[in-house]
Structure 1
């Protein structure tokens, strides 16, 4: 008997789970309520029928703008749009109005939904419209860290890859070791969409909260005795500096996504989550569901793992030719599902999507055992004089200092070298079970902040001496700024354009 999703579509998956487990909770939003599979099925049918009554046709684009406090309404609206045969365009609620207007014009959005109550009342009966596996189901706009955000189109088959309609037993579903999976990813991001898919297909109930704070997040994990937790490195850093102490021993899998997890941060997380396997996931909005997964290994501190889920990874020269093991080149990934593409942008798509392979925009290498190591974003490599400097390498060295919580390296103009290395750091605050043996001070000579280091703090000169043991001379930042927080985009990635603009 086949258990694979024969006609890949998320509405079919929701209908199957609602029929098999109507009262099972699929999603919990702290302080806002919970959603069962039966309610998700019924209310998304209402949304679909409401859209059809408004004359929405197959393939029309529907904008979805919901705050994190209304993750449940968003999940209902998303499935309702797909059931109506339309295309969902999720947008973060903090997206500026001008950007929303640009996106709406780019993909010709017909209707934008922000309140379910604004839709006409409609029947809860299934609309009965089959979904074409090859039809576009979702357009997700990238974070745009290197330019104008692009719309990444995913088909029904792409979104539903790996899903199963009728598993013989609960253990066949993902994360079966957990009753609850906790995350704090925002709506409108690829990571957030993966959590929505987990709510549909995984075994545990997916739990989130309206706004991330480290203490609230830790409390949520402890209260639900969560077995699985997902976060981004920026959240991990904040979690390490939490003020309250909570029992986190229930966590068996801690997954980090969206950006490389510094080795020093992973080590500290292992101490905070004593029973957890810590995994780093590497993918992109364009490449999903292709990914590499790395179970954090002290023997391979810089690796983001090997290809998983039926995908593949390779390193190529700028001409597209394969390079030898250990040689640095462009990172390409192959999707195991129907690949995604850029919507309404043929030229950009041809540069990134080629024959099922996706150009990641990163430089890296693969060792003899097939483990991928990232060297840097192609756009972030600093060409300083005769040298090329990896910002990831500089950031790893900065993270190794006990006073540094977060770090970002970037290039700034230099009259002789062309570009010079600069860095911004956020200082650590001790957590409830640790003490830091000295902070990082700033001085007037660096032109960043006035004042000298307090007693017991580490000066910037001392930090550079620390880096000199780990970096070549040309890799050591000539400028170091301290900040209360690094600027980030909606997906949690550091906005290096904003950092360069400060200089």
Structure 2
């Protein structure tokens, strides 16, 4: 893989006339045009008094302009992408917390962010697409002339991207990721997937999320390949995009894969016509059965990987053939060093269960202005992920659950992932999510939310008996709730914490 330590250096990799950014029914943006756009964007921001280290919030819908804005603004400032679906109060919190120096909004886009920014005195820059110039090309208007303290292109230690952790109960924490962090992660993903100029990723992930930004956009561009930017996940359009765009791979969260899988059989001709080199899954646990079904439907290897915001996405991944991929296991360390830590801070041997810890060039140096969180998160140079797991005899990482999501029933600990996996093996189950139900005596009881396959049936008793064949009695769900859809977060991740309350399930 080529060496690069900043986003601007990463953009120099691709051959001038090759497509860098593509989009359905749009002419592609070449690498030469993308590099020129980066130079123009940095000069424009500098002219508005925005330079290295200054934070530019972005509220842009998924598509080529969002991808282009992310990489070109990151070339000379700090990007802060926000979910366009936020309400006014949320925009107020994030813009204030980020100390944003500017907000980018697309031309003609109705968003409460505009009024919030004006009230807070944050300058609004309007992104105007240049539709004739190739997918993603744009100009920025509306800023007032100013003098930036740090002009030009970002240095390796400068912050490229700031994101908030998705706090389940506590206030979200700011994760600053340096140019070195994000480019190291792009390089790691490129090496794992053996990406090259011939590759094109179909991006269906939201681009306010680390998974889409780093795995789909930055890793593709860092390998000199292309990213095909769709308006976002749409199961009804996915196969048409596959047919028209002929990507070599796509990356998504398990809920998206499972929705695509449900429509694969009726689109078998397209799958045969537009073969994929591989499929990547990350950001949540992919049930082993879903992986096997995907591989059968697409005739391509499915690589489950393990990522988190604090690691600029990728930490471990299953490798490409001929090396083995293990269903239900997140693979080999793929970038940072990965170890398992005991409660006392010592590193455990292979085969022992403890907390997954990481260290490496892609790992954040710490949460912003949060000494308490940093004291908990870092130990002896290692970042504590909050995930529990073990390294098997081949060095593959097996996760047993989020430490805060483990169900503590009486004196026993139940790994929700283990129960999810067993439920997912039942032929009638399309999706399963195990969760804790508060219990006066035991502390917690085990519950499960299940989505059945189309046209199939199963009773609560049947599913409980199915789990009891494999797992100890204390792990068998006491309540099984049948749903048409399991509640998901903004990025498509299933919401385990607080699910009992949300569904009104009591012990």
TM-score of the two chains, using structure 1 as the length reference = 0.84
**Residue 148 (1) aligns with residue 139 (2):** no
Where structure 2 has 5 or more consecutive residues not aligned to the other structure, the ranges are 107-126, 129-139
Quickly say closer, same or farther: Cα 1:313–1:160, change in 2 above 3 A.
Answer: same
Q: Shift in Å at residue 172 of structure 1?
A: 12
Q: Corresponding residue for 1:292? A: 316
CA distance in 2, matches of 1:111, 1:45: 19
| Mean CA deviation greater in 170-179 or 87-96 | 170-179
Structure 2 SS opposite 1:114: strand
Does residue 1:220 correspond to 2:244, yes or no?
Answer: no
Q: Match for residue 495 of structure 1?
A: 495
Q: Deviations over 1:3-40 (max 9, x none)?
A: 533xx2111332454xxx33321122224653222332
Match of 1:427 among 437, 452, 466: 452
The answer to whether the 8 A contact 1:214-1:241 is kept is no
Q: CA deviation at 1:197?
A: 0.4
Q: Aligned to 2:436, which of 405, 411, 417?
A: 411
Distance 1:362 1:172 in 2: 22
C-alpha separation in 2, matches of 1:50 and 1:120: 11
Determine whether 1:101 maps to 2:122. Answer: no
Distance in structure 1 (CA, Å) of the matches to 2:328 and 2:56: 41
- Structure 2 residue aligned with 1:167: none
Q: Residue 338 of structure 1: CA displacement?
A: 6.1
Give the Cα–Cα distance (whole angstroms) in 1 for the partners of residues 191 and 349 of structure 2: 40
Alpha-carbon offset, residue 121 of structure 1: 8.9
In the other structure, the counterpart of 2:345 is 320
1:307 aligns to 2:307 (yes or no)? no
> Residue by residue, what CA displacement relative to the aligned partner does 1:384-404 show, whole Å, maximum 9, x if unpaired?
112111100110011111111
Q: Which residue of 1 aligns with 2:71?
A: 79
Secondary structure in structure 2 of the residue aligned to 1:191: helix
Task: Indicate the SS of the match to 2:385.
Answer: strand
2:44 aligns with one of 46, 50, 65: 50
Structure-1 residue corresponding to 2:141? 119
- State whether residues 49 and 122 of structure 1, in contact with CA within 8 Å, keep that contact through their aligned partners in structure 2: no
Residue deviations 1:230-284 (CA, integer Å, cap 9, x gap): 121111110111173143241121111111111010110111111x122111121
Q: Which runs of 5+ in 1 are unaligned?
A: 165-169, 430-437, 440-456
Q: 1:468 to 1:65 in 2, by over 3 A?
A: same
Find the counterpart in structure 1 of residue 7 from structure 2: 10
For residues 453-489 of structure 1, the C-alpha deviation after alignment (integer angstroms, 9 at most, x for no partner) is xxxx322111211121122111111111112211122
Cα separation, 2, equivalents of 1:128 and 1:22 = 26
Q: In structure 2, do the counterparts of structure 1 residues 87 and 211 end up closer, same or farther at CA, with 3 Å as the change threshold?
A: closer
1:144 offset after TM fit, Å?
A: 2.6
8 A contact 2:185–2:313 mirrored in 1: no
Q: Is the 8 A contact 1:14 1:41 kept in 2?
A: yes
Task: Give the stretch that moved more between structures: 248-257 or 353-362.
Answer: 353-362
RMSD: 2.8
Q: What residue in structure 1 maps to residue 195 of structure 2? A: 175
Give deviations 1:197-224, integer Å, cap 9, x for gaps: 0342124321132132224212322333
Secondary structure at 1:283 match in 2: strand
Q: Which residue of 2 aligns with 1:190?
A: 210
Out of 223, 237, 240, the position equivalent to 2:261 is 240
TM-score (norm 2): 0.83
Q: Report if the CA contact (8 A) 2:51-2:152 is conserved.
A: no
Q: Deviations over 1:133-189 (max 9, x none)?
A: 11212102223345332221111112222778xxxxx99994238442223110111
